Amino acid sequence: MPKSEKFSLHLFKPGTAAVEVLSENFREKLTSGEVSRMTRLAGSAVEMEGFFTNSFPKEPMWFSTLRTTFEIPEKKGSSPASIVTFVAKERRFALTFGYGASLLNDQTKVHDFGILVAMNLLSASGLKTIQRSSLIDAKNSAMQSVSASTYESFGGLRSFELLKRVAGPVSNDPTMLQAVGSSSLSFASKKPLSEVPDVAERALDLYAAIDYQSTAFADYDHLKPVVDPIQIRELKQQTADLLCTADSGFELGFPAFLSGEASYTKLQGRGMKGEKPDISVAVYREALGPAAAVIHPEHLDQDYVLVFSDDHRMLGRKSIYRCLVGGLQDKHGVQHVISEGQWYVPSDAIRVAAQDYFDRHVREEDKSLPSWNARTVIKTSKKGKKTHALSYEAEEVYNTRAAASSGYLLLDQKWFGGADRAFSKLEACDLFDPEGLRFIHVKRTGRSPSSTAYLFEQGRRSAELLADDRVRGDFADILEKEGHPKTAAKIRAMAREDFIVEFVIADMPNDDGRMTVPFLAKLAFAESTKFIESLGFKSQLRFIPLPRP
């Protein structure tokens, strides 16, 4: 019985020639002689072309697989890699060995080939590994199971997560024994190299199939990343063109988490000067002056946003492109959204559902809460020169002032919980409304998907803790000790259904005057509040309009 071999299979766009599967750098090495073509064995009827790097520290094990079809001389040196390309069903494929995958041409490669084949090939009830990527905090999570498990047992996908990789045993398929799907298809097969084109034909059929849409894998289609470099280049050009207009449909929000609370920002590049308390597309265009009429794609990478703390430490520096949030329709009418420099295509269903859910949970501005004040931060240079930077007051300062003026209880930075609880140290909220029974979580700026999602996650975790009657009792005890016996008694007497988890976001209105958050933040909001409501609490969101700087 033949032993099984492991292969890594890649698909390319229609019309791709053999040499076009190779990266530009690899093609240059082919011309210079650092890379060689492989010669097929005499009498071989297999239509394959092969390439390999000319040096190896020792002969890799996969050389024995290549020698079944190609003449391979003994090689020693460093950096083993090989690529074999062929055509099946009029489509170009490549097999990679060693680090060959990194030598392929990303512009001609099909990037969702492996994941789609695997979802159609593998049973959603027989998986060994899945890998997810969060669009909110840029974290990847890989989960493995000792035995074949269901997709649901891995937790499925949250609405702001992407499925990056699935793996498992293959049943009822004569061509493959095991498969791993990502951008490529890695598989184990008892087929020799000469018969891999037959496997590729089967894989191409699976790539075109939509069987996965009637399984637990259907949520893959809700949100897809754009990875084709040509398409990304077109979207970037369209974005630059739109930013030349006053109504671009985009906003700016500093991505990811900062190492401290932002105080003010500064724009860098093309003559832009001065500090602002926050960033926006309007601020960017104003800083550019006449140059705002001519924005090219490269400018989006060359112009920067710098964020500073009160003590003038730079907390972060990102390009304008990495700070963009918003969306557009491409030339085919397909809606795209961008977050932290990455483009995505949401399905119409999830886009409409997220907006509808968000709209149904937004409430009018709470007039009991004060406006968010601006302030001046004084900078002193090494030579003693003082300059002023406009900023917004810190969240801690606002919460203290808001509690004093509204009669709400200040719980910001007050931790509770116990070692036997789900969380041992957690804020109940920033402000508590004893009359409306609202646990209020406050955040300045809603244009950063990551920081906004963090706010929603705080509310989710707090609700999970407060759902425990004992913990609510502990919370009431704390309030009573701090001089609020009536509120404590009220909390003890009320059921979960009487409480509201409320999020308050202070931000600038969009150019059209609307208050909103980016699309990915809407997904995070829906995820968190659905969980909160499943515990019996109510949930809602309000905005505090900030004056434009």
Averaged pLDDT, 122-130: 71
Q: Are residues 76 and 199 in the same domain?
A: yes
Do 405 and 517 fall within a single domain? yes
Rounded to whole angstroms, how far apart are CA atoms 203 and 113? Answer: 9
For residue range 287-312, list pLDDT tens digits in order. Answer: 999 999 999 999 999 999 999 988 88
Q: What is the pLDDT of residue 125?
A: 62
Lowest mean pLDDT, pick from 146-160, 445-459, 513-527: 146-160
Interatomic CA distance for residues 232 and 238, integer angstroms: 10
Dihedral sign from CA coordinates of 513, 518, 523, 528 = negative
Residue 144 lies in a domain: yes
Residues 142 and 240 reside in one and the same domain: no
| 3-state SS, residue 149 | strand
Q: Give the pLDDT confidence score for residue 549 in this predicted structure.
A: 67
The percentage of residues in the chain with a pLDDT greater than 90, rounded to a whole number, is 52
390 and 246 in a common domain: no
Region 86-112 average pLDDT = 94
What's the pLDDT score for residue 140? 46
Q: Kindly tell me if the per-residue pLDDT of 460 is higher than 90.
A: yes
Of the candidates 158, 275, 178, the one whose C-alpha atom is nearest the C-alpha of residue 222 is 158
User: pLDDT by residue (tens digit) across 25-35?
Assistant: 888 888 888 88
CB atoms within 10 A of CB 488: 20
Mean pLDDT across 433-442: 94
Please state which of the ranges 127-136, 343-352, 399-408 shows the lowest mean pLDDT: 127-136
243 lies in the same domain as 319: yes
- Please, what is the average pLDDT of the chain? 86
Give the integer Cα–Cα distance in Å for 26 and 32. 10
Say if 356 falls within a structural domain.
Answer: no
71 and 204 co-located in one domain: yes
Is the pLDDT confidence value at 232 over 70? Answer: yes
Which residues constitute the domain of residue 305?
A: 229-346
- Tokens at residue 70, please? 């190609």
pLDDT at 215 over 80: yes
Selected residue with higher pLDDT from 75 and 98: 98
192 is a domain residue: yes
- What confidence category does residue 329 fall into, taking pLDDT thresholds of 50, 70 and 90? very high
Would 362 be classed as within a structural domain? no
Does residue 421 sit in the same domain as residue 445?
Answer: yes
Condensed to tens digits (0 to 9), the pLDDT of residues 335-351 reads 999 988 999 999 999 99
Q: How confident is residue 146, by pLDDT bands cut at 50, 70 and 90?
A: very low
- Angle, vertex CA 326, rays to CA 320 and CA 332, nearest 5: 110
How much is the pTM?
Answer: 0.84
Together in a domain, 310 and 197: no
Query: Within this chain, do residues 272 and 210 fall inside the same structural domain, yes or no?
Result: no
pLDDT at 130: 75
In a domain, 441, yes or no: yes
Let me know whether 216 and 250 are in one domain: no
| Angstrom distance (rounded) from CA 332 to CA 390 | 43
Please tell me the total count of domains within the chain: 3
Query: Do 341 and 385 fall into the same domain?
Result: no
Q: How far apart are CA 49 and CA 35, in angstroms?
A: 13
Please indicate, yes or no, whether residues 60 and 167 belong to a single structural domain of this protein: yes
Mean pLDDT lowest among 112-116, 158-162, 241-245, 541-545: 158-162
pLDDT at 418 over 60: no
pLDDT band at 507 (very low <50, low <70, confident <90, very high): very high
